[in-house]
Structure 1
């Protein structure tokens, strides 16, 4: 199993542990409230969505990962998603180590 697969498994685990937020509106809200520790945005997300999250994450100094496709993120989370955010320091550090 490579690190990318491990990272995707970690996202699924974080979701089951209640430490992951997904969906554009909820992730934006978590970024604005500084609850998000790291944001994962699908590499094939639409240009408006990408621009919005790039700007927000830069402004609030939150790391942004674009290593996964929409299909990979959706599969890892078990629902159709373009963006998600980890809201736990432990999961964030684990993800950063894998990437």
Structure 2
């Protein structure tokens, strides 16, 4: 795997700092545990709307990963389209990588 973002997600998963799935992520957001919520690029519009509502309600940043659920599955071992991290350090690093990747794509 040559993708730094997906590698970082794999590290966060192994460190136990990654929550996966809509319901667990929504629960973490409600308990103010989630520092950052991430969404897959092929997430359904209905689920994406629900994730954005939960994030807005609990003031949690929501960032599109720009990766499909299959790509996420290869990195973390579980097929999911909604992820969250409760670790401030992982959240900052993931946000920076997402911003960097979005800037690279806009230059192509």
TM-score normalised by L of structure 1:
0.89
CA RMSD, 1 decimal: 1.5
Q: Distance in 2 between matches of 1:14 and 1:74?
A: 14
Residue correspondences, number: 97
Point out where structure 2 has 5 or more consecutive residues left out of the alignment: 99-108
How big is the shift at 1:73? 1.6
Matches within 5 A, 1:1-99: 5-66=3-64, 67-99=66-98
Q: Taking CA–CA contacts closer than 8 Å with sequence separation of 6 or more, which of the two structures ends up with the larger relative contact order?
A: 1
TM-score normalised by L of structure 2:
0.82
Point out where structure 1 has 5 or more consecutive residues left out of the alignment: none
After the TM superposition, which segments of 4 or more aligned residues of structure 1 sit over 2 Å from their partners?
none
